[in-house]
Each structure stands twice: as structure tokens, then as C-alpha cells.
Amino acid sequence: MPAVQETVDRVRQIDVDQYKYGFVTDVESEKAPIGLSEDTVRYISAKKNEPEWMLEWRLGAYRRWLTMREPDWARVNYPKIDYQNAYYYSAPKQKPELASLDEVDPQILETYKKLGIPLREQEMLAGVVRRDQDGNVLPERRVAVDAVFDSVSVATTFKEELKRAGVIFMPMSEAIQEHPELVKKYLGTVVPTSDNFFATLNSAVFSDGSFVYVPPGVRCPMELSTYFRINEANTGQFERTLIIADKGAYVSYLEGCTAPMRDENQLHAAVVELVTHDDAEIKYSTVQNWYPGDADGKGGIFNFVTKRGDCRGKNSKISWTQVETGSAITWKYPSCILRGDGSRGEFYSIAISNGMQQVDSGTKMIHLGKNTTSRIISKGISAGKSNNTYRGLVTAHRKATNARNFTNCDSLLIGDQCGAHTVPYIEAKNSSSVFEHEASTSKISEDMLFYCRQRGMSAEEATALVVNGFVKDVLQQLPMEFAVEAQKLISISLEGSVG
Amino acid sequence: MSLLEIKNLHVEVEDKKILNGLTLTIEKGQVAAIMGPNGSGKSTLSYVLAGKDAYNITEGDILLDGESILELAPDERAAKGIFLAFQYPVEVPGVATMTFLRTALNAQRKLRGEAEYSTPDFLKLVRETSAKLGVSQEHLRRAVNVGFSGGEKKRNEILQMAILQPRLAILDETDSGLDIDALKTVSEGVNRLRSPERSMIVITHYQRLLNYIVPDVVHVMSKGRVVKTGGKELALELEAKGYAQYSDEAA
Ligand SMILES: Nc1ncnc2c1ncn2[C@@H]1O[C@H](COP(=O)(O)OP(=O)(O)OP(=O)(O)O)[C@@H](O)[C@H]1O
Ligand SMILES: [Mg+2]
């Protein structure tokens, strides 16, 4: 049988039910009553003991949301979401304050172990030496893990060292209590409460998330990381993250997530806001592997995310790197507003879709300041019956003289039942801007696979190798240990896609 | 027992008949040259031996160690020791040559139930082997064959052969594209690998290569079959007279 046919047949049989991380942890949880109303918003705010201004902010967003319509322009199809038939808040029932990891519910820690996501600082304490592929010892990397389990942070580590550096890294709910002036100053200034349907919903009911503030001139002494996980059936997840790098500051933030298998679709509508002042830099990396649904696409996560960075200061920089392999529906456009003169935005993306997954993702680079630059590298891989759309917007406003953008957008198809689409919007309102756009779509080449297999690799090993080669430009943007993890994830998510 | 026996092989591609009852035997340790005009089916034979899809075998058999390999996947054949140095090596963008070598070697070893190479052992093996073949460290870091010159690609094929240590190596026009010095280095590399345990099929158009890699036997192919077999002097004769006489014979 010719390889193409074989590949296609195998793809038809994909068993996404084998989703590796599909299990449910049995932790008692406390839920808000089902449905969404002003009372739900008040319940959440009260649970978190929020000040009056925060409640008012939420209620304002809620009232706004009632007047909005769900967007329908993306190339995704899903059954109508019944917003009254979902829970908007759930927290594991446990002691509210934790001093160390020892106090974390062992079942939760066990869950992380199953996920193969070690709490990295344990490794570091144990003196584990990491090596790269060529056997060189890697410099010790320290990752502070603010583990988010369901909606509430259950463990925060490295707090002391960060504190010494003056870095604030804490759950959003704590920041509202402890640093209200910072939260008030920045929250909603990048993604306003009225921004879009999902962001507005998030503003009304957000449960928790991370807050980071790096003071002027400080280089954050470690990479900050949060693992998100959705664990409660019918629980909408509404994370809210806000990261501020003050003048000349630098921070690298890593977010990674997986979710257990569940029958009901799980709605996720996160909002991430980044702000950089003069000469500051934020590097935000995501490895996303939520449950994509079964072979018929049933039960997967709906992921509607609003991520936006504001390069407010001159010569500041924001860089988004994402590896997207999960979710039934992905609707996500991490963007940069290049407001400060000389500021720079970057977007590096790997989006893999398999089975029945639908991905509509991309970025917006909005050039407002002079001499601003941006770079977009997007690698889409479609297998099975999935659909993968890159949607990108690059604009330069009248005053954004000498704006520069380079976009490279490559798609790779595995089999002949999947789709890849590229939808670029480009708009320059001044004559000195230069935008370059490159795009390609290719099928995974049988000659390449045969070459690899002649050397002894199985069809799956060969595909993984070729795909990893295809995404290399983006992988190398990730911090080393995450690159290794992402590489594994790519192989896992393509399992069963070739014959 | 002979290492390889090809019996009355008939092969079609897209309803076009390419091999027409080809019969050929390769003994253990033997180096056999195959010569023949363009389009006579030499590369097709090498692909069929390696198990490439899209070739329809309508008749005949291929035996390795007396057992048919027709049902084996390409990687299973590779693990049994069949190696093909491609006439046109394929580019694999983004995959460092070093990574490729290591993935291939360990994949083969895994299939054979052998332990994987440790990082230091593997690095040592690659460093030593590449030095002998004049392949620089810089090339090992570059993506497989991407932007390599014609000669560099061929050299890279021989490096892979030297690392993978096959029992049956098929070299499809490895000499084309090599300059005089490279031809020498590559031939030396091939000769170093000659052993009673390793057989080679050397496909070439030029007698010059056979001055360096001296064959035990020379086969002439025409129109999908072997039409003449002789000693190394047969190559000299072909150089002088061309293939005209054999095209008639095969017709
Ligand atoms: N996939 C294919 N589809 C159609 N025809 C093919 C295919 N592969 C090979 N052929 C034909 O089969 C014949 C033999 O080709 P092959 O490449 O085996 O010749 P060769 O002896 O290696 O020639 P050369 O000396 O030029 O390398 C040629 O006529 C070629 O066009
Ligand atoms: Mg040929």
C-alpha cells in the first residue's frame, strides 16, 4: 500500500481517547452556585474578600457583558455554550494558607507527578544535573512555580528570594489585598473590560491567576512559572494574569497546562496583560496541552484567550512564545501594542492540531511608535481531520514612521483530511513602514520520511523528527528545559497520525 | 549461503514496467559494481531493496540470509543491515546532522534489541568517523543536507554508512559530484569498511571509481535486467565500447 494511503488510514483511526493526561483528581471542591448573575459575581468577590472597588469593577464588566455578543468570525465551530449551565468558581477545600509544599494536598502533588511535571525546584534542591543533547552540563536554571490547581493557587515557592530582589510574584487575589495601588493602576489598562466578549466575561468572574511586578532596573533572578489545570467538570476557568516590568526590568514567565478528561465541554477564557516601561523586557512562554476531546471531538476544552502586551515605554520589548497542542477549540491571538518609540514585539508560535481539533490563532502587532519593529514566526501543523488557521494583523499608524515587520508563516499538513489556512491583514498608514510576509504550505514529504526510515526510524520517529525540524526556529525560543518538554509533547500529540 | 539473492524480480511503477525479471546474487563480503545506461533501472533496484513504497512487485523475490524481505518495512530492513547511499540525498530542514545520526543509530539498535549509545560514546564515534572522512564539526551541526554542496551530500551519505555499519551497503552513484580529492577520501572511507562480513553494491557510470574501489564482480544492467556479468576488466571494456551491444541483447 502506498505510504500516503497508509498514513491517511492511520490518521482515521486516531485514538485521541488515549489522551495521556485524562484523569480526574478526587479533591473535594467548593463551588459557586450554577449559572451567572450579579449574585455569582458578588459570591466570587465575597469568597475572595475583595475590596469594594474590585467588586464594582467586576459588576461593571458583568453589566457590559450582558450587552455583548459572542464573536463568530473565527474559523471554528462549536455547539452553543449555555452560560447559565456552568459553574464560575471552584476552589479545592483545604487550609487557606500554606507555608510550604509539605502542606499541599498530597493528591494534588500526585496529580502533578502523573502529569510528568516535576516541581522543578525539588530537582534543583536534589542537585540534579541537566545535560543538553550534546552532553554539556546546562547552567542551573531556577524556576519558581506558582502552581494553580483549579482556580486557587496552592503553592508558592521561592517567595523569599524574589522578595529580596523586590519582585512581586503572587496570586492575583493576594495582590488585590496587598498591592491594591498597583493592581488599580494597571488592571484592565491593556485589555479593557469592554474589549471583547470573552475578556469581558473574564473581568466579571475571574477566579485567580498570577500577578508579577518587577521594579525598575531589576532582572528577575529566576524564571517564573505557573502550571494551570482544570479539574472540575463544568467549571469555567477564568484566569487573570498581569505582569508589569518597570523601567529597565526583565522577566521571563512560563505557563504550561494540561487538563483531565471530562465529558462536558470546559470553557476557558483567560486574560493576560503585560506592560513594559522604558527599556524593559517581558518574555512570556506557553506550553498548552489541554484535553482535545475524543475521536469525535467530544469533551475537549474550549480555549478563548485574550493575551496582550503593551510596550508602553521606549525601547521596550515583549516576546510571546507558544506551543499549542491541546484544546478542542483554540481562539487565541497574543498581541503587542508597540506604543513606545523603538519598542519591539515578537511572536513565535507552534500550533499542532490533530483529530477533530480546531485552531484559530495568530497575533496582532500594532505599531504606534516610531522605529518600532516586530517579528512573527508561526508554524502550524495539521493532522487528522483538524483545521488550523493562522490569523495575523500587522498595522502601522500614521506616526509609526520606519516601522518594520517580518512575518513568516509556514504550515505543514499530515494526511489529506486536514486543513491549513492563513489569513494575514496588513495595513500601513505611513509610507516609511516596511512589512515583509512569507508563507508556505507543504505536505510532509514521503521522500523525507523514506530517507529517515531507510536509516532505521519508525514512521512515528521519522514524523516526529521531521516535525521537530519544521518547528525548530520556534522551539529554540523556549528556555532549554521547556524546549525539551515541548519536543516530547509534539511527539505525543502526533502519535497515531502516521502509518 | 549468499547474503542477498534477487530472483526473477519484476517491478512496476504507475503501470510502467521497470524491472523485467532481474536476477542477481551477492555473496558475503563481495563488492559488486552495477553499471548500465541511464534509465536502465539501477536506482529503482536500490529503492526496491530498501523497501520504498510505490513500487509494485509483480513477480519474484528478494532473499536476505535466505529469507524473503518483501514484507518488511524500510526501518526493519535497515535494522537487518541494508543501507542505501542515495543518488539524490534528501534534505531534512531543521534537523541537525548530529541529531539525525543519533536518532537513526539508536532506532536501529532498539529494533535489534541492542542498548542505545550513551552520549559520550556516541560523540566519540561521530568525532572519529567524521574526522576520517573529512566531515567538519560545522557540518554535523548543520541541518541534514540543507545547503550542502553535491559533494558534501555524498560525503554525508558515506559518514552515515560508516556510523551505521551495515551488512549490505548500496552506493547509488556516490561518485557523481565528487571532486578528485573527495573521490579519494570517500573511496578510502568505503575501502576501510570492506570486510568479509560486509557486502556492497556500487552503482556507477564511471570506471574511474572502480580504480579506487576495486570490485570483485561487475554486472551490466539494461532495460531492467542484468545482461552481462564479468570481472573488473568488464568495466574497462564498457568505458571503451559503451552500452550499444547490450541494449540490443536485452531487447
Ligand atoms: N516513480 C516513477 N514513476 C515513473 N517512472 C519512473 C519512476 N521511477 C523510475 N521511473 C522510470 O524508470 C526508469 C528507470 O529509472 P531509474 O532511476 O531506476 O534508472 P537508473 O538506471 O538509476 O538511471 P540513472 O543512471 O540515470 O540514474 C526510468 O525510465 C524512469 O523514468
Ligand atoms: Mg539512478
* ipTM for this prediction: 0.95
Q: Where are the domains of chain A?
A: 2-493
Query: What confidence score (pLDDT) does residue A456 get?
Result: 96
- Nearest CB to B50 within list A131, A454, A465: A454
CB A445 within 8 A of CB A413: no
Nearest CA in chain A to B144: A469
CB A361 within 8 A of CB A392: no
CA–CA separation, B7 and B25 (whole Å):
8
pLDDT of residue A263: 42
Inter-chain CB proximity A469 and B105 less than 8 Å = no
* CB of B231 closer than 6 angstroms to any ligand 1 atom: no
| Nearest partner of B90 among B76, B79, B100, judged by Cα | B100
CB distance A456–B99 less than 8 Å? Answer: no
Residue having the nearest C-alpha atom to atom 25 of ligand 1: B38
pLDDT digit string (tens) for chain A, length 499 residues: 333 344 334 333 333 334 445 555 555 566 777 788 899 899 989 988 999 999 999 999 999 999 998 888 778 787 788 888 877 877 655 433 444 555 555 655 555 555 454 444 333 322 333 445 555 555 444 455 554 444 444 334 566 678 889 999 888 888 999 999 999 999 999 999 989 999 999 999 998 888 999 999 999 987 887 544 444 443 457 889 999 999 999 999 988 755 554 545 578 889 999 999 999 999 999 887 777 777 777 778 888 899 999 999 999 999 999 988 877 888 889 999 999 999 999 999 998 888 888 888 899 999 999 999 999 999 988 888 888 888 899 999 999 999 999 999 999 888 888 888 888 899 999 999 999 998 888 888 889 999 999 999 998 889 989 998 998 888 888 877 677 777 777 777 776 666 4
List b or e across B16-31, with b for residues whose CB sees 16 or more CB atoms inside 10 angstroms.
Answer: eebbbebebebebebb
Is A480:A138 a contact under the CB 8 Å cutoff?
yes
CA distance A35 to A86: 5
- Closest approach of chain B CAs to the CA of A451, in angstroms? 7
Residues in A touching B54 (Cβ below 8 Å): 2-3, 446
Q: CB distance A469–B74 less than 8 Å?
A: no
Distance from the alpha carbon of residue B161 to the mean position of ligand 1, in angstroms: 24
Distance CA A96, CA A88 (A): 19
Fold of B2-95+166-250: Rossmann fold (3.40.50)
Q: Return the pLDDT at B76.
A: 96
Give residue ranges of A with CB < 8 Å to any B CB: 1-3, 6, 131, 133-135, 445-448, 450-459, 461, 465-466, 468-473
- Measured in angstroms, the CA of A41 and the nearest CA of chain B are apart by 49
C-alpha cell at A293: 476531546
Please report the pLDDT score of residue A143 as a whole number.
52
Chain mean pLDDT for chain B? 92
pLDDT for position A12: 38
What chain B residue is nearest to A458 in terms of C-alpha separation?
A: B75
Dig out the grid coordinates for A398 from the structure.
500614521
* Residue with the three cell numbers 502552581: A147
Which residues of chain B make contact with A465, given a CB cutoff of 8 A? 92, 95, 99-100, 103
pLDDT for A159: 67
Residue A61 · residue A204 · CB < 8 Å: yes
Residue B205 CA: nearest ligand 1 atom is: 25
Task: Give the residue numbers in B contacting A (CB under 8 Å), as ranges.
Answer: 50-54, 73-75, 77-79, 83-84, 86, 89-95, 98-100, 102-105, 107-108, 111, 119-120, 123, 143, 160, 164
- Residue B52: list chain A partners with CB under 8 A: 450, 454
Test the B interface: residue of A8, A381, A451 with most B CBs within 10 Å = A451
Give residues with Cβ within 8 angstroms of B39, minimum separation 6.
none
Given a contact cutoff of 8 angstroms between Cβ atoms, the answer to whether A410 and A437 are in contact is no
- Between CA B228 and CA B236 the distance in angstroms is 14
